[in-house]
Every structure is written in C-alpha cells, then in structure tokens.
Structure 1
Amino acid sequence: MEGLIMTAQLILAITIMVGLHELGHMLPAKWFGMRVEKFSIGFPPKLFGFKKGETEYMVGALPLGGFVKISGMVDESLDTANLSSTPQPWEYRAKPAYQRLIVMLGGITVNVLTGIVVFVGLAYFLGETYLPVSEVNKHGIHVSKLAEEMGLKEGDKLIAINGKPLERYEDARNPSFFLEQGSYYTILRDGKEMMIPIPANLMDKLGDKQNMSFIEPLYPFVIAEVQPDMPAGKAGLLPGDKIIAANGTPVAYFQHLKTFLENNKGTDVTLTIERQGEQITKQVKITPEGTLGFRPEFLLQTAVRQYSLGESVVRGTVNAFDVVFVQLKAFGKMFRGEMSVTKSLSGPIGIAKVFGGTWDWVRFWSLVGLLSMVLAFMNLLPIPALDGGHAVFLTYEIVSGRAPSQAFLEGAQKVGMILLLGLMVFAFGNDIYKLIFN
C-alpha cells in the first residue's frame, strides 16, 4: 500500500508540474498565432484524448513528462518532414525570434510562478512552525558518529552558523549552509565558545542512511501511549510516566533510551519511572527488536510564526528561490569533486520515496513547490532539447540577426535527446542501485 501511495503522489505531482509547464508553452504559442498540434501530459502510447479546434489534447501512458507539438518547430518528436518547405504564417519558424523565445521560456516561467505560489500559500495559510534554538539549548544536541568525527560532542549547544546567530534549529541543517565554502558552526561547550568546521563533502556523507540523523535535539520525553500487549503495557507503564533510568543508567533523553534498548535486546531490565512526582521501579523484558511498545511525547516546545499576505509573498518568494540557489551550490560542489553525482542524483524512484508512504498534503505541496523550482532550473540549462538550449539559439539569433541553420538545429536536438535519454537511464539505474545496496 505504501508503494501505491508513493507512486500516486509522484504521478499527481508530475501531472501538475508538467501540465502547467506545457501550458506555459501552449498559451503564448496560440497567442502569437502558432498552430499547436498536440498537448500531451505523459509520453505515448496514448491512453485517451480529444481534439478541440486544431489541437489534440492527450494523456500518455508514460507519466514522466509531457510535450507540446507546435507546427514548424524542431522538437523532441524530431518530425522534420515539412521543414524544407516555405514557412507558413502559422508555423513556429515563421514567427519573430522574440516571440519564439517567449514561447520557449513560457514553461520555465510558469514553473517558477507555480513554485512561488505554492510557497506563498504555505506561508500564508500554515505559517512557519519551527523549533527555537533557545529551546534546544536547554538540553543540547545529540550527535551521530559523523558529527563526532567533525568535532561535535553530545550536549553541545548551537550558537551560530557562519558567524550568524542561530534562531531556528532547522537552519542548522539547511543544505544551503552545508553547500557553502568554509562553513562552520559556533557552539557552546562547558561554557566556552568553539568553532567547528563543516567538511566540504558533508552533503555526500549525509546521503548514507547511517548518517541521515547527523545532529538532532536531545529529546526529553514522557510516555504518551502504551500498547497493552507489549512489554511496557504488561509491566504497568502508564501515559504520563517518565523513564529516567534503565538498570541504573540515566536515560532522560529518548536517544539515550533507544541506545540502551538497542544494546539490551531480549533481556530483562529494571526501569526507574517518575510518576506524579514519585520514583518507582518496573521490571520489563525488552523485545528482540529492541522496543518496549510505547509512543513517546517529546517535551521540546515548537513555535509558530504567522505571516500576513504581504509577508507571505516575500517569504514564499525567498523560499522558492532558495531552492534554485541550493541547486547552483550543489552543481558547484559536484564540479569541484566535493559531492558524488550518484549520491546526489535521484530519479523517479528516489523522488517517490521522498513523498513517503502516507498521504500528507502539506508535505505533498511543499515537494510540488520544490520540484517545480527544480524543474524550472533544470530546463533552463543550456542543453539542446531543453528549453534553455532553444533559448540560447534564439538569443544568438536575436543578437546576431542570423538564425542557426535547420540542419544545425536538427543535429543539436538529436545530441540533446541522446544526452537526456542517457541521463534518464542513469537516474533509473542509480535509484535501483540505491534500493539494492543502501
């Protein structure tokens, strides 16, 4: 079922993003009097469709993209049979270069606007829920082995990133921060401030499952719900109980309890419980999986900031373009060899996993906004067959007054298609490799 939900979310997201992208091409094309032969969400074979006026609207069986076929244009269909004849007034090639450029950039423009609208909507309707660093610093941070290797220690308190005071804990794990050159944390340890450098290849290492936690707040907790047929329920633990020690070892934080349970699977242990101001002990047998059978309630208090409409427009726009800046920084890291392409690149399978196996509309729309900006960025790359490649040739034509030859455009389109197909195969193969070996 989880796989079906992941797939459904991915298909719906692609349908929204691709449909709007192709609409961004079609509407200006029709506005300028170009004949649009087909508008497709998904690639052939055709599942269903209808024709209205001169345009056939269809849905393809392969939901990994889409296209708009405009008469007289060298596109991914590579249908060039009629391009040797005299251009007709309704054809793409007969229109001024600036009109063709607007058509080419229409999809990217709509994707950018979609990303901005989504992020503005999220800011306006939901506000921003975050964990204040002041709340985290009451207890400090829990560190993984990777964080320890960097120089961080259990209980460190976060003060600043790159010299900028830290207010929201979430900013301490912002990929944009990790992708900057010479990044560092300022932390407080035993009353002394220290600088902890961030390795240039940290993003690469965070791609490994064992490093995904990296750092997180130390979570004080109480028991919120107990499963009656599990060890916690059989031992008489109750909602509101606070586990403070196990076999005499302090476990005031959830991470410490998890470590203890993991190291004592299947054994009988003595838990010290704080209940209504009194301490009691309970004998309990840990399951072979290292669990007790209760749901914790974490005691750190989050904060919510609400935005006015004007503030939401600013905040949403900033959030949308932050996605692009992160992509640019990531490309820079990859070109410098500080990030692995295989660990950084995800195809449809990897993206579906990000959506998750439960349907969460906030997460769904957040990812649609993010992926819409990524789609715009990728399409703007100056690669033949992408919108950015067409835009480069059209800009050359506008500046020089000379259009590239039809043969050149056909050849460039073929090269671009080979590159994109190769990238698609690589992305699928990389996803499968990660599923098997990660």
Structure 2
Amino acid sequence: MTVVAYIIGFVLLFVGLGVSIALHELGHLFPAKRFGVRVGQYMIGFGPTLWSRRIGSTQYGFKALPLGGYISMAGMYPPSPKERAAAAAGSASGRAGGGFFATMVQDARVVNDETLIAGEETGVFYKLPVWKRVVIMLGGPIMNLLFAIVLFAILFSGIGVQTASTTVASLSACVIPADAGRTDCVASDPTAPAAAAGLLPGDTIVSIDGTAVTTFDEASSIIKASPGRTLTFVIDRGGNEMSIAVTPLLATRPVLDADGKAVLNPDGTPQTVDVGFVGISPQSTLVPQPIWAGPQAAFENVGAVAGIIWQLPVKVYDTAVTLITGGERDPNGPLSVVGAGIIAGEVAASDAPILNRVSGFLGLLASLNIALFVFNLIPLLPLDGGHIVVAVWDGIKRAWAKLFRRPPPRPVDATKLVPVTFVVVILLIGMGAILILADIINPLSILSP
C-alpha cells in the first residue's frame, strides 16, 4: 500500500462527497427558483465562509466544514402574528418566557419573520401548494438517488463486473482432502486431474463433452456432476484448438455461500459435499452488464441501507460497545465519512488493476449517495423528510377544512417543532461522533481477513 495512493483515495472520497452535497442542494435550488421562491443562499459546508459570490438574488459559496450544505429559502415557516405586529409597529420584541426551548422557538420565528417582512411575503416557501413544497424538499434526495444510479450504471455497464472466465489462471498440483487442515501436497495426495491431463495456465476452455461453455460456472457445473467419468475438454491454447481428456476425481469440498465463505453446520464444522474435481482456478475478467443492472443495483442498495438506517440507534450503540471493548465491528454496520475515506484510501492503494480500483471507488461513492438519499427521507426535522411531513400535514388540514366547508386553517407552524429538531440534531451529532471515533480507533477495513 503506497501512502500517496492512500491519500489520493481519501481526498477523492471527500471531493466526491462535496459533489454529492452540491447536487443535493441543486435538487432543492432548481425547483425552488422554478416555483418563484426567493433563495438567499446556496452554500456547500458549514461554518465560516471561504468564498462566495452573489448571482441575482442568491449568494453562492463554500464554507469551511464540508460536512453538508444548505439553501436558505424565504418563508420556510409561516409568519408569527405577534412578531409581525411588533415589527410593523416598530417595537422590539421581548424574550419569550418558558426557558431555553421557548427562547429557541422565538429565535427561529424572529429570523423567519425578518425575511418575510423584508420581502413583503412574496416568493415565500410556505405559500406554495403542498405538492410544490414536497417537490422542492424531495429534490435533494432524488438528486442523490439519480447520481447513484449514474455511478452504478458506469460501474456495471461501462466497466463491468468481475466474473470468473473459462481461462485457466492456475492449476492444483494435487487433491487435498477438505478436512486435511493443510494447503501443501504430501506424497499420499493424488495428482490433480487437470494437471495430470496436461492443461496449462492460460488455456481457455471452449467446450466440455460437446457442450459449449462461456462462463466458469457452466464449466464447473459439468465437472462437479461427472466424478469418475472421462470428459473431453476442447481448449484454445495460443489461438489453436486442441482436445484433452480429463477424468474428474470424486472429492469432498466445502460448501460455500454467495460470498465465497464456508457454510457451517450447527456444531460449527464446515459443511461439505462430494463432487467431481479437476483442480483448476479461473482468471477473472470484467464483463459489462445490461444497462438496467445499474438502476437495479441502486434500488437494491436502497433496501439494504434502509434496513441499516431503521436500526441506526441500535447499530451505533453496538459500535460504541466495540469502541470500548475493542471487539470486532459489524462489517455491514454504519460508517462515518472518515470510515468511508479510509476504505477509499485502501481501495486506491491496493495492488488491484486500475479499473478494479476505479470500480471500488465508484461503488463506494454510489453507496454513499444511496445513504444520503435514504437518510434525508427520515421524517424528522431538520431533515428533508421532516419538512415533507409538515407540508403533507398542512395539506391534510386544508383538505379536511374544505371537505367540511370550514374556513381555511392557519399554516402549520413548524417553529413549534424547534425543540424536537434540537434534540434530533444533538442525537445526530452524538451518533456521528461515535462513528468517527470508531472509524479512527477501531476502523473497518477491506484488508481485514
């Protein structure tokens, strides 16, 4: 692993994250401007502003902490009558009684009311029809989903998926029993049939007993089903076809799952099966997949990430336990951006061919965008899903009033949820801090055994 390649991978991940955040905010910005909402700021990051420029009525810029972004829209909340009356009369508003949370609610209303008064309540978010508010808030997550689909399409259809080919990469010298507990041959081990028959690395299997094979799985299925029966292999060696007779031996081999790991019996011993065996290992090659493979992978990832997000508090708690005890982390558990950067660095610094490393990086960035899509749909403020719930609830109230011929109700005042928002933010910060610490002290790694 080279340090320079590792750093490049780490930095590229954060550049990709910045692009993902920028696209997310553009997903909010485009429909907001299309629907006539005044957007004061479009910012990537939080904290002190590093650079900004005003174009039209919107200030565009970058801030010091690239851990998110936002657009500021006029009238995110409806005006509070008391504050508007006080402002119209030119009087200063006093602090609300009731303690810390009441003060937070009032501060949110004051900031919101100032933008409304300055703009005379034109081009404001809360006055839009419900469907337009939902479109604006969905725009950000949808952009992350679309970006992920594009990345997965490049990965699956443009580059391809690692697939075992019919070209021989290596040959076993002997047949070692599955329960031998060793990898070196001894005198009592029979010679592997493929090596004995004269197959060589680089040979490409064209057909077996008259059946054409185009994948290693097809060849392997015929071999496994034919122990003790002589098979005619037609191979391509350096552009010339030739036939070789190979007789698979009956061998006990471990049962592997879809990930290539041994399947265990209830008592913890590996499951085995008796199959035909010749002792060849295939070369892997990148095979482009159909164009729909990328979108399919994206939506499969949505389901997987949703399962993790649903259990996020429990999984973060489990991660905190491993942080204290030094135990092994769940390889399918949540990561912070630091953890994602570590994996990106390992991918970039690995010994794999460049296309494989590019594939690994694209897959990681695509998965990160799926996580942004799912996470932002959680129906809690300040996330996009929380604003969608507020807009939908406002629409339900209006539809109910219209159904029973009642006067239109006042807009839903989301500033009343500021205390809940505050608690959610604190929890998110806490969970993020735990994951960052875990990724520094007890990181997940693609190099782990």
What range describes the TM-score normalised by the shorter chain of this pair? 0.5 to 0.7
CA contact (8 A) 1:72 1:82 kept: no
* Partner AA of 2:426 in structure 1: I
| Structure 2 residue 93 is the aligned partner of structure 1 residue 93 | no
Residue among 155, 172, 181 paired with 2:259? 172
* Partner AA of 1:122 in structure 2: L
Whole-angstrom CA distance in 2 between matches of 1:73 and 1:319: 35
Structure 2 CA distance for partners of 1:172 and 1:49, relative to 1, 3 Å? same
CA contact (8 A) 1:132 1:302 kept: yes
Measured after TM superposition, the shift of residue 187 of structure 1 is 6.0
| Structure 2 residue 15 is the aligned partner of structure 1 residue 12 | yes
Whole-angstrom CA distance in 2 between matches of 1:117 and 1:187: 40
* Partner AA of 2:128 in structure 1: K
Q: How does 1:393-408 map to 2 (within 5 A)?
A: 393-401=390-398, 403-408=411-416
Between the aligned residues of both structures, percent identity stands at 25
CA contact (8 A) 2:74 2:112 kept: no
Q: How does 1:290-329 map to 2 (within 5 A)?
A: 300-307=282-289, 311-312=290-291, 314-329=292-307
Structure 2 CA distance for partners of 1:330 and 1:365, relative to 1, 3 Å? same
Structure 2 CA distance for partners of 1:338 and 1:95, relative to 1, 3 Å? closer
Identify the residue that residue 338 of structure 2 maps to in structure 1.
349
RMSD (Å) for aligned C-alpha atoms: 4.1
Residue among 59, 62, 72 paired with 2:62? 59
Whole-angstrom CA distance in 2 between matches of 1:411 and 1:425: 21
Measured after TM superposition, the shift of residue 414 of structure 1 is 2.4
Whole-angstrom CA distance in 1 between matches of 2:413 and 2:22: 31
SS state at 2:132 partner: helix
Structure 2 CA distance for partners of 1:80 and 1:122, relative to 1, 3 Å? same
Q: How does 1:361-372 map to 2 (within 5 A)?
A: 361-372=358-369
Measured after TM superposition, the shift of residue 303 of structure 1 is 4.4
Measured after TM superposition, the shift of residue 155 of structure 1 is 4.3
| Structure 2 residue 364 is the aligned partner of structure 1 residue 382 | no
CA contact (8 A) 1:20 1:110 kept: yes
Any stretches of 5+ residues in structure 2 without a counterpart?
78-103, 182-251, 321-328, 350-356, 399-408
Structure 2 CA distance for partners of 1:331 and 1:387, relative to 1, 3 Å? closer
Q: Which moved more, 1:403-412 or 1:25-34?
A: 403-412
Whole-angstrom CA distance in 2 between matches of 1:100 and 1:142: 62
CA contact (8 A) 2:27 2:140 kept: yes
Q: Deviations over 1:247-289 (max 9, x none)?
A: xxxxxxxxxxxxxxxxxxxxxxxxxxxxxxxxxxxxxxxxxxx
| Structure 2 residue 441 is the aligned partner of structure 1 residue 433 | yes
SS state at 1:69 partner: strand
Larger radius of gyration: 2
Structure 2 CA distance for partners of 1:350 and 1:337, relative to 1, 3 Å? closer
SS state at 2:382 partner: coil
Residue among 250, 270, 274 paired with 1:190? 274
| Structure 2 residue 125 is the aligned partner of structure 1 residue 125 | no
Structure 2 CA distance for partners of 1:124 and 1:110, relative to 1, 3 Å? same
Structure 2 CA distance for partners of 1:391 and 1:90, relative to 1, 3 Å? same
Whole-angstrom CA distance in 2 between matches of 1:142 and 1:340: 36
Residue among 246, 254, 269 paired with 1:156? 254
Q: Which moved more, 1:406-415 or 1:122-131?
A: 406-415
CA contact (8 A) 2:316 2:434 kept: no
Taking structure 2 as the reference length, what is the TM-score of the superposition? 0.57
Q: Deviations over 1:170-194 (max 9, x none)?
A: x4269xx9xxxx9xxx9652349xx
Whole-angstrom CA distance in 1 between matches of 2:63 and 2:415: 29
Residue among 16, 34, 38 paired with 2:37? 34
Measured after TM superposition, the shift of residue 366 of structure 1 is 1.9
Measured after TM superposition, the shift of residue 9 of structure 1 is 1.5
Q: Deviations over 1:364-388 (max 9, x none)?
A: 2222211111110111112221111
Whole-angstrom CA distance in 2 between matches of 1:109 and 1:393: 19
Size of the aligned set, in residue pairs, is 300
Identify the residue that residue 148 of structure 2 maps to in structure 1.
115
Identify the residue that residue 411 of structure 1 maps to in structure 2.
419
CA contact (8 A) 1:384 1:415 kept: no
Whole-angstrom CA distance in 1 between matches of 2:109 and 2:9: 39
SS state at 2:412 partner: coil
* Partner AA of 1:353 in structure 2: I
Structure 2 CA distance for partners of 1:134 and 1:121, relative to 1, 3 Å? same
SS state at 2:110 partner: coil
Whole-angstrom CA distance in 1 between matches of 2:55 and 2:412: 34
Identify the residue that residue 269 of structure 1 maps to in structure 2.
none
Measured after TM superposition, the shift of residue 341 of structure 1 is 4.2
Whole-angstrom CA distance in 2 between matches of 1:173 and 1:47: 48
CA contact (8 A) 2:380 2:421 kept: no
Measured after TM superposition, the shift of residue 45 of structure 1 is 0.9
Any stretches of 5+ residues in structure 1 without a counterpart?
146-153, 162-170, 193-218, 221-298
Whole-angstrom CA distance in 1 between matches of 2:431 and 2:129: 33
Measured after TM superposition, the shift of residue 334 of structure 1 is 6.6
Q: Deviations over 1:103-147 (max 9, x none)?
A: 1110011111111111112222212222379999x979999x9xx
Structure 2 CA distance for partners of 1:427 and 1:61, relative to 1, 3 Å? same
* Partner AA of 1:30 in structure 2: K
CA contact (8 A) 1:386 1:416 kept: no
Identify the residue that residue 420 of structure 1 maps to in structure 2.
428
* Partner AA of 2:68 in structure 1: G
* Partner AA of 1:172 in structure 2: D
CA contact (8 A) 2:312 2:334 kept: no
Whole-angstrom CA distance in 1 between matches of 2:178 and 2:34: 58
Structure 2 CA distance for partners of 1:63 and 1:335, relative to 1, 3 Å? closer
Q: How does 1:221-370 map to 2 (within 5 A)?
A: 300-307=282-289, 311-312=290-291, 314-331=292-309, 340-342=318-320, 343=329, 344-357=333-346, 358=348, 360-370=357-367
Whole-angstrom CA distance in 2 between matches of 1:334 and 1:134: 44
Q: Deviations over 1:377-408 (max 9, x none)?
A: 11111222111111122222222325432432
* Partner AA of 1:81 in structure 2: V
Structure 2 CA distance for partners of 1:105 and 1:141, relative to 1, 3 Å? farther
